[in-house]
Structure formats: C-alpha cells, structure tokens
Homo-oligomer: A and B are copies of this chain.
Amino acid sequence: MEPAPDLGLGDSSLHRYLDGEFWSLKNELRRLLGGSPLFRHRFDLNLDEMRALTFQRVQFIMGLPLLKRAIQEQAEKTKNFVSRSLVIGEVLSMADMATAVKEFVIDTPCENAEKMYIGNAMYGNYAAVFAQLITKGRSQGPHCFIVPVRDANGSLYPGVTAIDMMYKEGLHGVDNGILIFHKVRIPRENLLDKFGSVAPDGRYHSPIKNKSARFNVMLAALTPSRLAVTFQALGAMKLGLTIAIRYSHSRRQFGPKAKEEVKIIEHQTQTLRLMPHLATALALTFASRYAGVLLDEDIFHGKELVDSRPLQALVAGLKAYSTWENVSCLQDCRECTGGMGYMMENRISGLKCDADVFVTFEGDNVVMLQVVVRELLAQRIKQHQEKPVSTLFRNWAESGSDKLRTSFLAFGVDTVGNLTFLLKAVNFRERVLQRSLVARIHYKVMTKREDFFSAWNSCLHHVASLSLAHIHRVTLEQFWLAVRSCPDQEDQALLMKFCLLYGTKLVFQERAWYLEHKYLTPTASTRIRSQLLDLCDSVKDDALRVISAFNIPHTSLHAPIAGITTAQAAWAFYPAPPLQPQAREGARSQQPKLGAKL
C-alpha cells in the first residue's frame, strides 16, 4: 500500500478568509479527493478509458457522505445550500474539471430535443427535455419533460437515437452527444409541473398566465448553474496561477553581468502578466461569493429567481467575465512557464483545454453580456412603471453625462492611487455607458423607426462594454467590502494592495475611454500606467502568501515545475519557493511550508 500523500494543506487566518464560511467543508473535501488514488492525474488514456475513469470518479464523489448531505440539503432547500454546493464545485474542479462538469450541477439544465452537446448523453438513463407543450391543439410554450432514454441495461428505448460527438479539445471524460426523439411516448406525470401541468383530460393549467413570462421563469432556473461555472473557472485560475507563480519564484534566467541569474518573477513583464490576474482571482472570489449569498437568500425566502433582476444580471455577467478572465489568465500562465507550461505534466495546458468551453457553454458569453444589459434596463423600466417606455427612455437619456461627471469627478492627479478614486471612476463609466446606450436605442427606434433587433444589433459593442463595466464595478465594490470586513489586520493590508491593483487594472485597461470623456487627463493616465507597474512589482512576494492561502492540495497541483515531485517527470522538477523569498520581519510562524513534496 502506498503511503498517504502529503497534501501540503495549511491553515491561517488568510486561508480561512479566502475560503470563506465553508473553509472546513472545503478542507474535508480536499483531504478526501487528495487521498484517493482515483484522482491521480491521467493523460495517457484513450477516450473510452477517460470516460470510464470519469464515471468511476463521479461514483466515488456521489458516494461521499459529504456529497449526500449536500444533495439532501439541495432537495430540502436548506439555508445556504447553493453557496455550499458552489464551493464543492470549485474544489472538485481543481481535482478534475470533467468530474466537476459531468454531474455535479445544481440543476440539470433542460435541453432542446434537437439540440446537441448534451452531457452524459452516451450513458445516462434519463434526459430532461425542453419541448413545446401542445395540448388540445394549442401550444403552451416550452416545458421541461423527463424522458427515459435507456433501460437498466443501457439499451436505448424505441424511438430514441443517440449520436456520440466523440473528440473535443478537453473534458474528455464528459460524453457529449445528440439525442433525437421520434414519437416517444411518455406519461403525463413526466412533465416537470412547477410552472405548468396537464390534467388527465388534457386541460392545461399554469400559475403563470403569460406564455412569455413562463419562458423567462424557466430560463431563470439556469442561474445557479451559470454561477457554478464561475466557481469552476475560478478554481482553474487559482490552480494555474499557483503553478505559474511558484515556478516564477524558482526558475532563474538572465541577470546582471557576472552575477547569478535572477528569478524570472523579477522580470517586469512577468509580474505585469501574472499579478493583475492574481488580483482578479481575489476580486472574483468575493464577487462570486456575494452572488451565491444573494441566490441563497432569494431561494430561502421563496422568491422567484426571475424577479431578481439585479441578481440575474450579476450572475450572467459574472459567468461571462470570469470565464474570459480565466482563458486569458491560463494563457498567460502557460506562456510565463515557457515550454514547460506546454507539457501536460505541468497541468496548465490541460486546464486550458478543459476550461476553454466555459466561455460558450451554459449560455454563450456574448449572449450573457446582452442578458446583463436587458436585465439592467428591465429593472430600470420596472422602477418607473407608471410612465410610458418612450418617455422614460427619453428622460433617462437626457439626464446626460455631464451632471454625472460633476458629481463623480472632483479629484486631482495625485489621487489616482486612492481606492475611492478608482471606485468612482468605474461607477462613472457604468452610468455614462448606460445613459448613452439608452439614448442611442431611443433615437434609433423612436426617431429613425428602425426595428428593435437592428437597433440593438448596431449597438452590440456598446452593450458589451456596458455589461462588463457593470460587472467590473460590482466586482471592485465587493472586493473593497471584503477588504474592509477582513478581521486580521495583516491580511487586510495584504488584500488592500491587491484591491488597489485590481482597481488600477480596471481603469488602466479603459483609460482610452476615460481620456475620451475627459475624466482622466493625459498626465493622470500615464500615472495610472506607472501605478500599475509599481503595484505589480510590489506584490510579487506577497503573491506567495496568497497562493498558499488558496490551499490547493499538492495532488491537485501535480506540476513538477511547482515543486511537486512525481514519479513520471522528474526532469521537470523545480524546487518550491520559500513562503518569504527574503528574510523579513513579521514572518508568520503558523504558515505552512510550501516546500513539502508529494
């Protein structure tokens, strides 16, 4: 029997604060997964073997008492069950993304019968199918049915065809396929009847009278799984960053003449590429946690998700933002680890391939950005229901951006390093973009009589910008609130640096817009650039404390370049960096040693 691996888990105030309320649950799951040989990384299997292994992994997971509890709580809608499920998804995604994607979803998404890309299509016994409900010759809009697909022996029922989609870029353990139904008969009871039911005599009944409202309610049911994708993307980001940062603190290249080469983290370009992603991962940690809490509150209070317009906007936007950030982050991690990062042993390449699909699944990101804006506008319109929409649009547009600038701008150049300045800047941007969008659509639809689709389509770039501006603003605010609430002073100071970096990054990347709107002067804009470079440099050693507090088991890290020895690829080993690169005052004794090997 192999000895139990040293998982290198730690425990400090920062570890707990970053893990949040469920830190102890997360540690329990980390130990369970890390201790199981089933979760050893494999990239030498063919498609069938990989699918079979994933199936075994899913069975292992589903057999854990911890998971059974979570599923029971989900059924009973226990308080906070969504947040609890989300962190389980995050930890699972770090151990194996395919396992996290394949069943562990909070709600099984309903799929159109003609649609492709159905996960688990090649093995599942039942499918949840969205189809038009036609009763007594009348369509009542799409409803969700449970359709038996295979019998207990795995044979397809008559009328059901399954096509295997086979090879994908990643997630090889997930068996995507196409299901086609031809005159399949199912009993009336198989209609999921939360939003509509059919009586034995064929009469239709629904608590929601309006057909399109009914459809929106059903779409809102996707909200928790969209948020689950954010948590999985976040898991991948933390993993990639931990590997890339540990390697960058270990590998040396170039340096002053006749002296030892410097660690590559010392290269300005290296910190500039990695540190903003780390700040973003922290910001998203708190923003996605906030969304989970809101979701739990709504569900606990029996509120229909469709009525929570700000929440719908937040979750759709976070899904798009976090998955794009993840793609960009993992690409930088890959490049910052050079050829080593291209080797499957070092984990980053595989994560890239697995997580790449996140940007288009559970709702394509470009569509998600449109959902954000639709919800923001609907929310606004709802607040003014007494007025006709056209008046509202006009008034709204006319309130203009100049007043906004007056109320927001009151800062000299030397305040760009101030978090309040950054918060106001992202607020200003969101509001101006919102008002100008409304004005443009109003003009196109009301004055130029364009049809709404064309008007909207010709503003899509604007819509996307507003949508991201909204999410940036909420994310920075949540990060800032989390810094303020941090109980440990030293942790708080550390997080504050990254919060400043995150805000600086947001304003830096949109500085052209701020210059166009004369919100920044050219001098202030160049100062933002220097501030970004300085902050990236100043947090590069703190980064080691942060990634340590991500508390990723060494079995999940896997990468030899991150200082984890494996039997297979001794050639790729780089020693793990010490937690404090230079001896410093105030080194904390309770911090775990990162140097430990598997």
Contacts and interface: CB of A to CB of B under 8 A. Distances in A.
Interface of A: 43-44, 46-47, 116-117, 163, 165-169, 178, 254-257, 262, 266-269, 272, 327, 331, 334-335, 338-339, 341-345, 349-350, 352-353, 356-357, 359-361, 364-366, 451-454, 457-461, 464, 511-512, 515-518, 522, 525-526, 533, 568-569, 571
B272 A169 contact: no
Contact of A357 (B342, B364, B464): B342
25 contacts: A44-B46, A44-B47, A166-B569, A168-B342, A169-B343, A169-B344, A178-B571, A254-B453, A256-B453, A257-B451, A257-B452, A267-B457, A268-B457, A268-B459, A269-B461, A272-B460, A272-B461, A335-B359, A335-B365, A341-B360, A342-B360, A349-B356, A352-B356, A512-B525, A516-B526
A364 B460 CA distance: 36
Residue of A47, A169, A268 with most chain B CB atoms under a 10 A cut-off: A169
Contacts of A269: 366, 460-461, 464
Contact of A339 (B117, B350, B461, B517): B117
A301 to B, nearest CB: 34
A255 B453 CA distance: 6
A528 to B, nearest CB: 10
Contacts of A365: 335
Contacts of A517: 522
Contacts of A569: 165-166
Contacts of A461: 268-269, 272, 533
Contacts of A526: 516
A47 B46 CA distance: 10
Given A116-B571, A117-B339, A257-B451, 18 more contacts: A44-B46, A163-B571, A167-B344, A168-B344, A169-B342, A169-B343, A169-B344, A267-B457, A268-B459, A269-B464, A331-B331, A334-B356, A335-B359, A338-B360, A339-B361, A512-B512, A515-B522, A518-B522
B257 A453 contact: yes
A334 B117 CA distance: 15
Contacts of A515: 512, 515-516, 522, 525
Chain copies in complex: 2
Contacts of A451: 256-257
Nearest to A256: B453
A518 B370 CA distance: 34
A169 B47 CA distance: 16
Nearest to A338: B360
A211 to B, nearest CB: 15
Q: Which 10 A-B pairs give the minimum distances between C-beta atoms?
A: A169-B349, A167-B344, A512-B512, A268-B460, A515-B515, A256-B453, A516-B522, A511-B512, A117-B339, A43-B167
Nearest to A364: B338
Contact of A268 (B163, B341, B458): B458
Contacts of A533: 461
Contacts of A459: 268
A352 B464 CA distance: 25
Contacts of A343: 165-169
A350 B46 CA distance: 16
Nearest to A341: B360
Interface centre among A167, A454, A568 (most CB of B within 10 A): A167
